[in-house]
Amino acid sequence: MGRPTIGAVNILLVEDDLDLCGALMRVLAPRGFQLVCCADGLEALQMARRHEFDAIMLDLTLPGIDGLQMLQRLRDGASRTPVMVVTARGTVEDKVAGLNIGADDYLAKPFDIEELEARLRALIRRSKGEEELRCGNLRLDRETQIFFNGFRPLDLSPREGALLKALLQHRGQAVTKEALREAVFGENAETSADAIEVLVHRLRKRIAGAQAELMTLRGVGYLLIDEAIAGRDE
Amino acid sequence: MTAMPSMRRFIVMWIAVILSVLTLVDGLLAYGAAEKGLAETRDRALARIAAGYLRALRAQDADTSKIPASVFREETGDDDTPELRFRVSDSRGLLLGGDPQLRFPADKAVKDKLVQAALYDDGEPGDRWRVAAVKDFILTRAQAEPVVVQVAESHAARTASAHLLGMAIAGKQLLRLGLALSLVYAVVMLGLRPLERLRAELARRNAHDLTLVADQRPQELAPLVASLNALLLAQQSAVDEQRKFLADASHQLRTPIAVLRTQVQGLLLGQTDTADTLPKMLRTIDRATALTNQLLAMAKVEQLVRRADWAEVQLDQVARDVALEFAPLIARKRLDFSLQAGPMSLRTDAWMLGELVKNLLSNAIHHSKKGGALGIVVRQLKHETEMIVWDHGGGVDESVLGRLFEPFNASKSGTGIGLGLSICRQIAESMNASVDIFNRIEAGEVVGVDAVVRWPGLRDA
């Protein structure tokens, strides 16, 4: 057990497998994460209340109290520390229960270290409100709300901007046409989902050469993906 | 379980009822005939006694006391002579001798018939008598005078005799009935013995014994034993399948662990190159993880099938959700995906349906070449709902097409982990649907696979 360290990203790891704790500490330390390990739910709860952590990684199967109960008590105590549930239970019910009680993300064991790091960083950025919206060379400046292709500002209409923002928020993930229509035209707007197609067509031209690809999943929605990632899998 | 009535008791009981009714009817008829015979015999005896008296009077023979006994012995074959009354009167009814309580025949019809002998009933209710009267001329003081002789027997005596007769008939019938029932019972017991033998044979078996039951049985039991054996065979094949599955699963799970162990030991001993071995170890782990997940999914499907928590699920929505979930994978391969699906609701378990679509789409993505086209079509045919997950991955070798749904089969040909399609079939069967894999042929060439799921007759025409 240790103290949160200044300068590093401080994570409370609630996990009863000491081998996994040790391995994660060693692997994450060079990436700028300082892990405090705790194998018991009640101890972890005290620790979380006493110290400021950037995020909590929580296993569900724990001695003392169950991970979900611990999360419940933590949220009842009005703690806002982001929590990522990491478990081998891996059923939909557990996932839904965890997210309902107030987990911010969910990762099934075994996991890829790269993915864990990316998810943890995204989680912390989101919780601090500094989420950076970027994909390829596309970037949204949070201060000015201006989109950039590299260093060149993009000239987008407000609707194109709203569309790109919605896609950037879910980069790498598909967004349904309905969700995009809501994001662009508002919840009660009487526009057909086809209006989005026209808008996507225009946006595609505007972001050409930005190393970001706007893909269509016909019948489902659209997806913005970093060209470096697209086609990486052979 | 409510106790069902016994077949043996049913058969014996109904035969007993039928025999009893027949015996009762037969006994009553026999009694009726015997009673009629009895009355006729005794009427004849009375008439003969009256005639005998008349003869005795005519012959001036004083000893008439032996007549009744000898006549009754002759007629009924019985030594027992009932108590009789006698009266001798002249033609006007004046008592000449005998019992004055026996009245002279009052009825003209009777008197007219008196030439030979007349038989009639007389007396008061409760004291009825059967009377035989004979009229003839006998010589008295050198002159022929008509004389009437009456002989009477009380009805009570007759009834007593009839009772005795009835008892005798009833006794005989009961004896016959008892004998018949004993024989019926014995035959039924003997007849049902094969059934009892089969029951005892089955009771002796232990629960894990799946050997067939001997089938030399009476005609009625043969089909039952045949069905039983068919069940046992099915059970045996399920057990064999399970055993094979376990053996395959053990092999598939242990192999990556053995590989990992060798790889780690090689590293520890410095015999293998770290940079070369570690990525291989990671791939081994990913393979074992995927297999573990599939085994767990399979166990969960089995559990869900048993729990059968069916609800209305939107097939098109499930397909869309799966496509959304798999979108990053689709994007990474730059695949050209399309979903064609109208609103379509099915009664099933949402998780299982999702798992089915995921497995099929995951296969399609796995087998697609970079930039290739794939998609999902959901449509309503005339008698069924159909979902096709199609790809342009070049199709499946015809030789493995038939065995694709067997567990671990795909892994032997080295294309996948091996349980995905088994799970698909298990899910499909649980919701009364079928799942099949076809090679899609365009312009005479196999271009890809159509994985087709069909739910029969779900929609109104």
ipTM of the complex: 0.78
Q: Which residues contact B338 (CB under 8 A, 6 or more apart)?
A: A217, A218, A219, B373, B375, B376
Model's pTM, two decimal places? 0.64
Mutate to test the interface with B, among A220, A224, A229 (most CBs of B within 10 A): A220
Q: Do A218 and B370 touch (CB under 8 A)?
A: no
Q: Do B331 and A215 touch (CB under 8 A)?
A: yes
A48 and A86 share a domain?
A: yes
Q: Which residues pair with B314 in a beta bridge?
A: B345
Convert the pLDDT of each residue in A192-206 to its tens digit. 767 899 999 999 999
Tokens matching residue B116: 């030979």
Shortest Cα–Cα distance, A218 to chain B (Å): 4
A121 and A138 share a domain?
A: no
Q: Which residues contact B138 (CB under 8 A, 6 or more apart)?
A: B54, B57, B58, B144, B145, B147
A26 and A122 share a domain?
A: yes
Calpha distance B372→B216 (Å, rounded):
63
Q: Do B331 and A218 touch (CB under 8 A)?
A: no
How confident is the model at residue B109, as a pLDDT? 67
Partner residue facing B330 (CB), from A217, A219, A229: A217
pLDDT band per the 50, 70, 90 thresholds, residue A1: very low
Calpha distance A116→A171 (Å, rounded):
17
Partner residue facing A174 (CB), from B327, B334, B338: B327
Q: Considering only CB atoms, which chain A residues are within 8 Å of B375? A: 218-219
Domain that residue A33 falls in: 9-127
Q: Which residues contact B184 (CB under 8 A, 6 or more apart)?
A: B12, B15, B16, B19
What are the φ/ψ torsions at residue A116 (nearest 5 degrees)? -60, -45
Domain membership of residue A4 (yes or no) is no
Is B303's pLDDT higher than 60?
yes
Q: Which residues pair with A33 in a beta bridge?
A: A9
CATH number at residue A167: 1.10.10.10
Mutate to test the interface with A, among B283, B300, B317, B337 (most CBs of A within 10 A): B337
How confident is the model at residue B350, as a pLDDT? 85
Choose the final residue of a domain: A87, A104, A127.
A127
Convert the pLDDT of each residue in A51-81 to its tens digit. 989 999 998 888 778 888 888 888 888 888 9
Shortest Cα–Cα distance, A225 to chain B (Å): 7
∠B27-B32-B34 over CA atoms, to 5°?
A: 90
Confirm if A81 and A53 have CB atoms less than 8 A apart: yes
Closest C-alpha among B448, B369, B453, B446 to residue B405: B453
- Residue A215 contacts B, CB cutoff 8 Å: yes
Choose the final residue of a domain: A127, A149, A172.
A127
Convert the pLDDT of each residue in B207-264 to its tens digit. 888 889 888 888 989 999 999 999 999 889 888 888 888 888 887 788 888 888 888 9
CATH number at residue A17: 3.40.50.2300
E strand intervals along B302-443: 311-314, 336-341, 345-348, 373-380, 384-391, 434-442
A108 and A155 share a domain?
A: no
Measuring CA to CA, how many Å separate A230 from each of A35, A172, B371? 33, 9, 10
Domain membership of residue A211 (yes or no) is yes
Domains and CATH numbers, chain B: 7-177 (no CATH), 204-307 (1.10.287), 308-456 (3.30.565.10)
Partner residue facing B337 (CB), from A213, A217, A231: A217
What are the φ/ψ torsions at residue A59 (nearest 5 degrees)? -85, 150
Calpha distance A154→A134 (Å, rounded):
13
Touching B: A residues 4-63, CB under 8 Å: none
The residue of chain B nearest to residue A176, with distances taken between CA atoms, is: B324
E strand intervals along B92-250: 95-98, 117-124, 127-140, 143-154
Structurally, chain A folds into a number of domains equal to 2
Tokens matching residue A20: 């996994």
Tokens matching residue B399: 């030789």
Choose the final residue of a domain: A106, A127, A148.
A127
Closest C-alpha among B283, B281, B302, B295 to residue B253: B295
Helical segments of A12-110, H only: 18-28, 41-50, 67-76, 92-101
Domain membership of residue A89 (yes or no) is yes
| DSSP summary character for residue B221 | T
A112 and A141 share a domain?
A: no
Confirm if B150 and B133 have CB atoms less than 8 A apart: yes
Tokens matching residue B42: 């005794």
Convert the pLDDT of each residue in B24-39 to its tens digit. 999 999 999 999 998 9
A41 and A64 share a domain?
A: yes
Is B305's pLDDT higher than 80?
no
Convert the pLDDT of each residue in A151-188 to its tens digit. 999 999 999 999 999 999 888 889 999 899 989 988 87
A117 and A27 share a domain?
A: yes
Q: Which residues contact B261 (CB under 8 A, 6 or more apart)?
A: none
Tokens matching residue B165: 């007769």
Calpha distance B440→B449 (Å, rounded):
5
Average pLDDT over residues B367-382: 92
pLDDT higher at B294 or B63 = B294
